[in-house]
Amino acid sequence: MEYRFSERMKNLRGNSIREIFKLVESPEVISFAGGMPASECLPLDAYRTYTDELLSGENALSLLQYGATEGYRPLREAVAKHVGGMGIKASAENVLIVSGAQQGIDLCYKLFLNEGDVLLVEDPTYLAALHIAKTYRARAIGVRSEADGIDIVDLEEKIRTHRPKLLYLVPNFSNPTGKTLSEEKRRAIAKMTAEYGVIVLEDDPYRALRYSGRHLPAIKHFDQSENVVYLTSFSKTISPAMRVGAMIASRTLIAKLTVGKQATDVHTATLSQAVAMRFLREGELERRVEASLPVYRFKRDAMLKAMRRYFPKEAEFAEPEGGLFIWCKVPMPARELFLQAISQGVAFVCGSDFFADGKGEQYIRLNFSNESVDRIEQGIRILGDLLKR
């Protein structure tokens, strides 16, 4: 039969994340693609202990039965307390548990975006935030970016011109650029979006992975008008495979987002939620993050050092204070470098995937978290040789 697909899906292909997963499947490839946490930092022992205790406990049977769409109540409470420690006031009623933070992006778009509506993003931005926008046939428009994050003047201009429903931002160690939004700008964004009636989707999966500098308050911390939706994730700090994230928003928004979630996966896997709750409640999350920071910092520094050594001086990059990525401008088309690199067993993601309008063909995103320092050096040397040819 000839299939008549919906308009939203007809021309949509898989985004580069799929490409990435497929590359990573071969262990010979040195992969700077992906955005995986360091495998050696995954807390397998604690995960197994908590799982075993939960499935041996008094309430074990209830962990196998249907649960509430809003999420497992003890996790909602633990998340409220957890974000409270970051300066975000919340009770359990302000928390919706999602099946990974990415589902939070999808639900937020579902709640606000009609076909043709404008979504503002920092340019460049997380590629899935652009990909999901396509499934709602919304228009993603990029806002200029500076060293300390989105350009406030350009943001206001684009808000006036395009009357967007939503602004999507990664405030800490942005994917792909590694940039951090300054405190001053966070405050200004909260104020400006409230004035213009724009929802801010603050996607903050990397916050805990800070290797230098001090933690900054979230945009949500400055939210006076309940127009900021804060999104957090346990994918980088506990396990991505468990698929657990959380949205923090006003009760009105949480109620509506819950209706949206109910219409897709009913609720998030309960055992995953209960394990996350144990990590939070026992303080194990903090301890694990503390223990993993030196590992990540070491890898970041190894990659930066190798880049300084092997890359031509025309290559431009900054040192990210945290997260998983180094963003680099290269003196040749990224697509070309990609093809040559792949043939020599090195992978990364081309920059153009992260721009709302597909520009950025001279940028590459390098992930440093999931390879050993030896392989990081080896891979960067190969890329450097190709760039110098």
Q: Segment 66-95, which members bind a copy of itself (CB under 8 A)?
A: 66-69
Phi-psi category of residue 162: left, alpha or beta, with phi > 0 → left and psi -120 to 50 → alpha: alpha
Residue among 64 and 339 whose Cβ is closer to a copy of itself: 64
CB 122 within 8 A of CB 143: yes
Find all residues with CB under 8 Å of 146, minimum gap 6, and list them. Answer: none
Counting contacts by CB under 8 A, is residue 161 touching a copy of itself? no
65 binds a copy of itself per the rule CB under 8 A: yes
Nearest CA to 107 out of 228, 4, 259 is that of 259
Residue pair 260/107 in contact (Cβ under 8 Å)? The answer is: yes
The yes or no reply on residue 165 touching a copy of itself (CB under 8 A) is yes
Closest listed residue to residue 173, CA positions, set 120, 236, 234: 236
Residue among 32, 47, 279, 311 that touches a copy of itself (CB under 8 A): 47
Q: Print the binding letters for residues 196-235 with a copy of itself: x by CB under 8 A, - otherwise.
A: -x-x-------------------------xxx-------x
Residue 291 sits in the site that holds a copy of itself (CB under 8 A):
no
Nearer Cβ to a copy of itself (110/179): 110
Taking the C-alpha atoms of residue 37 and residue 134, their distance in angstroms, rounded to an integer, is: 27
**Cβ at position 131, least distance to a copy of itself in Å:** 6
Q: Is residue 26 close enough to count as binding a copy of itself by CB under 8 A?
A: no
Q: What is the phi-psi region of residue 227: left when phi exceeds 0, alpha when psi lies from -120 to 50, beta otherwise?
A: alpha
Asked if 12 touches a copy of itself (CB under 8 A), the answer is yes
Binding part of the chain for a copy of itself, among 4-12, 207-215, 285-293, 310-318 by CB under 8 A, reads: 4-12
Q: Does 353 bind a copy of itself (CB under 8 A)?
A: no
Nearest-10 Cα torsion for 369, 370, 375, 380: -50
Of 179, 243, 299, 300, the one binding a copy of itself (CB under 8 A) is 243
Under the binding rule (CB under 8 A), the answer on residue 372 touching a copy of itself is no
Q: Does 292 bind a copy of itself (CB under 8 A)?
A: no
Residue 157, phi-psi category: left (phi > 0), alpha (psi -120 to 50), beta (remainder) = alpha
For position 159 contacting a copy of itself by CB under 8 A, the verdict is no
CA 378 – CA 387 distance, rounded (Å): 14
The footprint of a copy of itself on this chain (CB under 8 A) covers a number of residues equal to 85
* DSSP code for 351: G
259 or 339: CB nearest a copy of itself: 259
Residue 36 is given by DSSP the state: P
| 151 binds a copy of itself, rule: CB under 8 A | no
By C-beta, is 51 or 340 nearer to a copy of itself? Answer: 51
Q: Does 11 bind a copy of itself (CB under 8 A)?
A: no
Q: Determine if the peptide bond prior to 333 is cis (ω within 30°).
A: no
29 touches 346 (CB < 8 A): yes
Stretch that binds a copy of itself, among 65-73, 175-183, 286-294, 338-346 (CB under 8 A): 65-73
**Judged by CB, which is closer to a copy of itself: 2, or 343?**
2
Residue with tokens 């303080």: 283
